[in-house]
Amino acid sequence: MFALKTLGGHGIVDSILHAITKATLVAQLTYTAFDWWGFLSAADTSRLQSVIKKAVQFGYLLPSYGSFEELCLTADENLFFSVRYNPNHVLHQLLPQPKNSNYNLRDCSHNFTLPTMAIS
């Protein structure tokens, strides 16, 4: 935040300051967030959201910028989309084989067989 405040004090244009904030602050907050954000407590999520809220309050991000949870969900969806539709992606080979159904059911977001979990 100090570096962003210093840049803002030197008269950098708002659009450039927003881009710098996204590239530094938001990138650090959301780095591999899709791996660990589901394990955060409500207090941890609130703390991370407050950093984004302060950046909006100080004018480093646009007021319409999303919440931390929205950022994590978007990152998660982008990763799954990339893995699913890019056959050259490292994780693509780990996806289960698509299932073939002879039934005329409603459309699903994917056609993969979901693993069954043993309940103990």
Token readout for 64 is 């319409």
Domain assignments of the chain as residue spans, ordered by start: 2-94
Q: What pTM was estimated for this model as a whole?
A: 0.65
- Please check whether residue 97 is in contact with residue 114, taking contact to mean a CB–CB distance below 8 angstroms: no
Residue pLDDT, tens place only, 22-79 = 888 888 888 877 778 788 888 988 998 999 999 899 888 888 888 888 888 888 888 8
pLDDT tens, 1-28?
777 777 777 777 888 888 888 888 888 8
Burial pattern 91-106, b for ≥16 Cβ within 10 A else e, equals eeeeeeeeeeeeeeee
98 Cβ contact partners less than 8 Å away, ≥ 6 residues apart: 111, 112, 113
